[in-house]
Amino acid sequence: MSINNKQWLGLPLNLLWGYIAIAVFMTGDGFELAFLSHYIKELGFSPAQASFAFTLYGLAAALSAWISGVVAEIITPLKTMMIGFVLWCVFHVLFLVFGLGHANYALILVFYGIRGFAYPLFLYSFIVAIIHNVKSDNASSAIGWFWAVYSIGIGVFGSYIPSFTIPHIGELGTLWLALAFCVTGGIIALASLRHIKTPHHMQNLTTREKFAELGRAATLLYTNRNILLSSMVRIINTLSLFGFAVIMPMMFVDELGFTTSEWLQVWAVFFFTTIFSNVLWGILGEKLGWMKVVRWFGCIG
């Protein structure tokens, strides 16, 4: 299988529009990240109830992320991305109309949780596309760019745009605007990734064999110690990041006296710095080795 190796600072140009699709989609997905907990509290629910909604969302996202790679290998990355895209749009609308719109906590949990299952199918399936369309020598920088556009979407534009729209159209109106970004990102992905190279070795498996592959994904943590340890490191290192997004808006707005827009701009500045560091560490990972970068700079540093 021949691979187009054209790149710019480690960015594979054959997947450029795929990266743009990720940035646009994650902009919409990230709209509520840094203000939804405070908004749920404003609807009359307790901080604990708001936090539990994010806990359920995170569990669903973790499950989806766990199986997304195998599903992408079985049915192709693009099909998996489209499943995630459609699920996200459908359950986002249900979440807004019946959950937040009616201040129904049970429906908030159900629809927001299922929406949490959707976005990793779109997001992480693109990593499978990267692996199959980029030479292994360039994979580290290509993944670095993946996390860079992820940060641009979920953290920078996903926070800056709501900081300007909330004063004019409110939180619920801003969440409806998020749908437009995700639809745009999904359409870009559908149009630009139709002709990428995809794995075929699992597509001819029987239904029983495909479920067996999914079963292997579920047991991988027990059979591969290195993946178990890597997963533990990843969980520990991201707890503070997404935990901050839940508790900080309530502290900044309710206790410190900042507006929601001001808090969102602070959050966006934080993510802005990660754009450059994601690319930098991806490139350095190719030079120094991934383990050295993760161990000495990511953990100890």
pLDDT in tens, the chain (301 residues): 455 568 777 788 889 999 999 999 999 998 988 889 889 999 999 989 998 999 999 889 988 988 888 888 888 899 999 999 999 999 999 999 999 999 999 999 999 999 999 999 999 999 999 988 888 777 888 888 998 899 899 888 998 999 999 999 999 999 999 999 999 999 999 999 888 877 666 666 666 666 666 666 666 667 777 777 777 777 777 767 767 777 777 788 878 888 888 888 888 888 788 777 777 777 777 777 777 877 777 766 5
In-domain check, residue 111: yes
In-domain check, residue 62: yes
Domain range for 263 is 11-300
In-domain check, residue 252: yes
**What is the distance between the alpha carbons of residues 277 and 258, in angstroms, rounded to a whole number?**
28
Give me the number of domains the chain comprises: 1
Instruction: Output the CA–CA distances (angstroms, integers) from residue 196 to 53, 125, 181, 193, in the order listed.
Output: 37, 13, 23, 5
Res 198: pLDDT: 74
User: Any bridge partners for residue 8, and if so which?
Assistant: 11
Query: 121 in helix, strand or coil?
Result: helix
**What is the distance between the alpha carbons of residues 138 and 228, in angstroms, rounded to a whole number?**
25
In-domain check, residue 5: no
In-domain check, residue 3: no
SS3 for 224-240 is CHHHHHHHHHHHHHHHH
pLDDT of 82-137, one tens digit each? Answer: 999 999 999 999 999 999 999 999 999 999 999 999 999 999 999 999 988 888 77
In-domain check, residue 177: yes
What CATH code is carried by the domain that includes residue 148? 1.20.1250.20
In-domain check, residue 182: yes
User: Any bridge partners for residue 7, and if so which?
Assistant: 12
Cα-Cα end-to-end distance for the chain: 39
Task: Answer yes or no: are the C-beta atoms of 21 and 118 closer than 8 Å.
Answer: no
Query: 7 in helix, strand or coil?
Result: strand
φ/ψ bin of 6: left (φ > 0), alpha (ψ from -120 to 50), beta (otherwise) = beta
In-domain check, residue 21: yes
Tokens, residue 161 = 């745009």
CA 266 to chain centre: 20
**What is the distance between the alpha carbons of residues 259 and 149, in angstroms, rounded to a whole number?**
27
Quote the DSSP letter at residue 134: S
